[in-house]
């Protein structure tokens, strides 16, 4: 998959929050959702998702409950807590500011005299 980009460190948490904000999902579902909303442009190794998920649960940003998947498998579903919603908003703003700043910096042309 040549046109997939590696994730920047720290961005996986943001992506997870974003994916779950669209509705409760199990772990595999989150991966699919990330692929879908990023247009298959981001590479996430599957196992790497879980340490991030558990970290977010521990921080109280996600809550988890067991349920049944669409093809009748037992799976754990994650959804945002109130704190999670708040964090997603903050992180999104942060990210946008950062992206704009970096974009601006990279787009800047040398000033002509």
What residue ranges bind another protein (CB under 8 A)? 26-29, 45-48, 50-55, 57-60, 69, 71, 73-76
Shortest Cβ 105–another protein spacing (Å): 33
Query: Which of residues 73 and 86 has its CB atom nearest to another protein in the complex?
Result: 73
Q: Where are the beta strands (DSSP E) in 22-72?
A: 25-26, 42-43, 62-68
Shortest Cβ 19–another protein spacing (Å): 15
Query: Which of residues 7 and 57 has its CB atom nearest to another protein in the complex?
Result: 57
Is residue 45 within 8 A of residue 8, CB to CB? The reply is no
- The Cα–Cα gap between 33 and 19 comes to 6
Shortest Cβ 40–another protein spacing (Å): 14
Query: Which of residues 18 and 49 has its CB atom nearest to another protein in the complex?
Result: 49
Shortest Cβ 29–another protein spacing (Å): 8
- The Cα–Cα gap between 72 and 74 comes to 7
- The Cα–Cα gap between 30 and 79 comes to 11
């Amino acid at each position: 998959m040549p046109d997939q980009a590696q994730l920047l460190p720290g961005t996986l948490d943001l992506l997870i929050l974003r994916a779950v904000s669209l509705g409760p999902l199990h772990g595999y579902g989150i991966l699919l959702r990330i692929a879908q909303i990023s247009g298959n442009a981001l590479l996430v190794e599957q196992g790497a998702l879980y340490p991030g998920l558990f970290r977010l649960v521990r921080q109280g940003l996600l809550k988890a409950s067991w349920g049944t998947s669409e093809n009748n498998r037992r799976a754990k579903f994650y959804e945002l807590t109130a704190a999670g919603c708040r964090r997603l908003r903050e992180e999104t703003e942060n990210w946008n500011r950062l992206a704009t700043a970096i974009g601006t910096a990279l787009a800047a042309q040398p000033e002509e005299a």
